[in-house]
């Protein structure tokens, strides 16, 4: 069952126009459902916000819970590609941060990516 509301539809319209902030606001107001979280994650991605991955991961879980394997697979694919792109970025330069702390942050991001990439394999395999 697709949980579409006028607010969610307006959010997708705002995304189509490139109004990322308006879309984020509309999806956030739509509540905790898969479609709203999917749109929220996409709007946050365009705004370069860390909440993008979290929202889309929550959308993935909700799609899985209701048995929508196609939508869950689409989100899992997006997450795998997004995490790969994030992991390929060079670490930010900080004058006061020692190299060891930069490596720790990079390792933590990589560990999360493996978990989601394994999720992607699980969905595609039909598990």
CATH number at residue 57: 1.25.40
Q: Give domain status of residue 89, yes or no.
A: yes
pLDDT on residue 81? 87
pLDDT on residue 85? 73
Tally DSSP H helices, then E strands, for the chain: 6, 0
Q: Confidence band (pLDDT; 50, 70, 90) for 94?
A: low
Q: Give domain status of residue 112, yes or no.
A: yes
pLDDT on residue 23? 95
pLDDT on residue 39? 95
pLDDT digit string, tens, across residues 12-69: 999 999 999 999 999 999 989 999 999 999 999 999 888 888 999 999 999 999 999 9
Q: Give domain status of residue 79, yes or no.
A: yes
pLDDT digit string, tens, across residues 66-82: 999 999 999 999 888 88
Residues 44/22, Cβ–Cβ less than 8 Å: no
3 vs 125, higher pLDDT: 3
The total number of structural domains in the chain stands at 1
Q: Give domain status of residue 53, yes or no.
A: yes
Q: Give domain status of residue 71, yes or no.
A: yes
Q: Give domain status of residue 1, yes or no.
A: no
User: Which residues touch 6 (CB under 8 Å, ≥6 apart)?
Assistant: none
**CB atoms inside a 10 Å sphere around CB 93:** 7
pLDDT on residue 2? 55
Containing structural domain, residue 63: 6-124
């Amino acid at each position: 069952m697709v949980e579409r509301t006028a607010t969610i539809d307006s959010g997708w319209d705002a995304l189509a126009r490139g109004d990322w902030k308006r879309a984020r606001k509309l999806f956030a107001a739509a509540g905790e459902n898969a479609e709203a979280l999917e749109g929220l994650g996409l709007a946050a991605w365009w705004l370069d916000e860390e909440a993008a991955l979290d929202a889309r991961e929550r959308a993935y879980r909700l799609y899985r819970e209701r048995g929508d394997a196609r939508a869950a697979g689409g989100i899992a694919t997006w997450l795998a590609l997004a995490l790969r792109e994030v992991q390929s970025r060079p670490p930010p330069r900080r004058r006061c941060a020692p190299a060891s702390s930069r490596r720790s942050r990079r390792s933590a991001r990589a560990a999360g990516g493996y978990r989601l990439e394994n999720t992607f394999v699980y969905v595609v395999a039909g598990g």
